[in-house]
Structure 1
Amino acid sequence: MLLITGSNGFLGAALCTFLNDIKIDYKSVSRRGYAGSISVGNIDAHTQWSEALRDIDVIVHAAARVHVMNDASLDPLTEFRKVNVEGTLNLARQAVAAGVSRFVFISSIKVNGESTELGLPFFADDLAVPLDPYGVSKYEAEQGLLQLAKETGLEVVIIRPPLVYGPGVKANFAAMMKWLNKGIPLPLGAIHNQRSLVALDNLVDLIVTCIDHPAAANQIFLAGDGEDLSTTELLQKMAKALDVSSRLIPVPMWCLQFGARLFGKQAMAQRLCGSLQVDISKARNVLGWRPPLTVDEALQKTADDFLQRNA
């Protein structure tokens, strides 16, 4: 029996839907017991998991305090640690006591760092260089889980996804689709970076592979679609999926970066102009895993859902 945490989130909900489709039994938990899931309240060092852990063999821990732009917390790292480190390790220790055999932890590519040089992707076994509080908290949780694995025999699998997109995606990805669909001209037609993304369906497929694959035990995997895109290419493909013209103005990257510095938007400029590539060869070689959807197929599913929601 599986236990899925964060079952009402973007990833957790998609994972539960997929498990329903392939008829795999699971229990789900969320803070408030959404959609028939077990309510556990806030996830921290004091959460009681005994009811949820009954008869569980494998946990997929997708619940987290997620990265947000312009975090208003006075001490963001402390707040991230409460959920992502203390909450995760509390669950893992109780899982060991309950006889759980495997713990699949959804981490973040931010553990590797914030950016890569063009053509020099992150690898799964690279030295971790987390730079922001969210990335630090995920790295500390990973380290705690791997230490617990050494001490107890619990099998730990760590998956680090980059930006996840798919039906129901929100935030910046949804905003870009909205701008494109409205025909708003965007000054993003001459960006020559490379970024890795992972489609929601591809990430769910990797997670399901890691639930019981013998070779996944105590390994770290990077998730991705296996096809990197520049911001310009992504917008062009997205416009095609939406069946609209991409009105992209070829403003040089140095102009965008200069303007971003003037207006204090360096972080946004980094996401639009910087590169962040991941190498998924370890998942391919160790697990025999291949992303089931191409980027074009995944963008089409995302666009169709967006159009249906905004009809």
Structure 2
Amino acid sequence: MMRRRMIVPLLLVLLVIAAIIGIGTGAVFISPREVVEALLGTGTKNQMFIIGQYRLPRVVLGILAGAGLAVSGVILQGMIRNPLASPDVIGITKGAGLAAAIVIFLFPKSPAVLLPLAAFGGAAVVALVLYLYTRRRSVQPSTLALVGIAIGVICQAGIQYFMVKNPGDVNSALLWMAGSLWGRGWEHVLAVLPWLLVFMPLTLLLSRKLDVLSLGDDVAEGLGERVDRLRVLLLITSVALAGACVAVVGSIGFVGLLSPHIARRLVGGQHTLLTPVAALIGALLLVVADSIGRGILPPMEVPVGIMTAIIGAPYFLFLIARERKNSFS
């Protein structure tokens, strides 16, 4: 147990190191020592301007979005008892993306706070469909994934329709669909921060109930839990986290799938420890992926969503193969 609890401070140290390296990575390289000096207010004016106005908010947003998507995945996997459940795999991210695309294309001058609200609504519709479907206890994980993929395809078609109808905004829309931290500033951090401040602590409070829910509906009800009400509350929390994050960073995939699995291998399935560890892993994954995307071909950038897909797609195929093997064994 002591070794497991050391995972959190270790991940915090790795996240700080990754953040410092990420702040320094880009068209203008800044060494880690210069980054620390600039953060402490003793660097050059040029470096302090670059970091304060461009690099630091981008890294902070990557930390927040990575943590939010990871915790959303933890909730879905624990609630549905499905290792393939994550916001992007089962279509929640695409639902949020479609709603956000409607706001971007049809209401381009709308206030920034409207985008997370719209994304939350789109994600909630998809989540409601999946919830009604998964109330049948015989649903297999691979079946749920296929249903989510089908819903995601429908939402993707809607996004492409708006892109065809509004060709003037297609470049920014494509960048947003790929998932990117490019051009993000403090206003985007402030847009997503309130959602995380409310729903991340709520997830920690519900973590023990997730442990009970993982024992099965009958056992949870026998222990006094109102399973249907608990599932609705968990679903709202997961949708709020995923919708808010997607609204500001775009459709970044596999963070919500990868992070809970890595965390579960490190600390086991107890959600009181699994949740913060998954959050740190998600933040670390997104910061590292964004740094790699910026550092491969500077000054050009590879969107962070493409980098996470390169990492996550093989792992997703591995999970599907393992689920099929378990179903036949």
TM-score interval, normalised by the smaller of the two chains: under 0.3
Q: TM-score, normalised by structure 1?
A: 0.28
Q: Could you say which structure has the higher helix fraction?
A: 2
Greater relative CO (CA pairs within 8 A, separation 6+): 2
